[in-house]
Amino acid sequence: MNSEVIIAVPSKFELSQNYPNPFNPSTRINYQLPNDGNVKISVFDNSGKEVMTLANGFKTAGYYSVDMNASALSSGVYFYHLTAGDFSAVKKMLLVK
């Protein structure tokens, strides 16, 4: 008996809302890539300063999640920005300590 598992490739780019939100000090960000390419996920504070890079490199098409530990950051609003090829998306999250 032959058993195959077929994993679907996403049909579009997507950046999901982090969970949990608000969070302290850890949260998870899910995203999907319909094709291979370079991916960067950066975190910015409310003034626009980049405070963390969560991903930066080549990824194959698929579903991904990245865990963020913000124990070194202050409470407040942060933005995470995904760029992959021509796709770009930003979401807001709240760190409450």
For the question of whether the overall pTM of this predicted structure is more than 0.75, the answer is yes
- The percent of residues above 90 in pLDDT, for the chain, comes to 90
CA distance 17 to 29: 7
∠ CA 43-48-52, rounded to 5°: 25
Amino acid at 2: N
The predicted pLDDT at position 8 comes to 79
- What CATH class does 14-95 carry? mainly beta
User: Does the structure show a pLDDT above 90 at 6?
Assistant: no
Per domain, the residue ranges of the chain are 14-95
Tens of pLDDT, residues 31-74 = 999 999 999 999 999 999 999 999 999 999 999 999 999 999 99
List Cα–Cα distances, 30 to 47, 54, 75, in angstroms: 24, 12, 22
